[in-house]
Amino acid sequence: MTKVSKLRGQKLTDEIERICQEYISKDPRVARITRSLIQRKLGQSSRSTLVGERGKLIDHYADQQRRNFNITKTGIRKKTDDEKLVKLRIENEQLKRERDQAVADYASIMNGLKMKGINLEDVLYPIFNPHE
């Protein structure tokens, strides 16, 4: 036999808020705020009282909990701005090295062609004018 909840009206809403406040500081990957959790904590057998405004309230607390831990709705951790910045700086340095290597390779090709007396414009024509 299921336990019948005696909470109704504003008392029920206050109890929902209390439970959500209790769980909002916990990691959502371990203790996620859901309507099912609230239903179990309240001892209710039906979720019909957790729709409408109360449902929006629970969803708001669940969103707040995910934002506190930088987690998306699917449970994937979002990177902080500092982490993104570090990654972009590393990528930028790598691209600079690749650019410098490409310029050095291009210069060595040009010097080799000049030393052999080959016309540079004829050899590099497809690179500079690919559609003609």
Bigger pLDDT: 72 or 110? 110
Average pLDDT, the chain: 80
Residue 130 has pLDDT above 70, yes or no: no
Give the pLDDT band of residue 132 (cuts 50, 70, 90): low
pLDDT, tens digit (0-9, with 9 covering 90-100), for 24-65: 777 776 777 777 888 788 777 777 777 788 888 888 888 888
| This prediction's pTM | 0.49
pLDDT at 59: 83
Q: What share of the chain is helix, strand, coil (3-state, %, to 5)?
A: 65, 0, 35
Q: What is the largest CA-CA distance in the chain?
A: 97
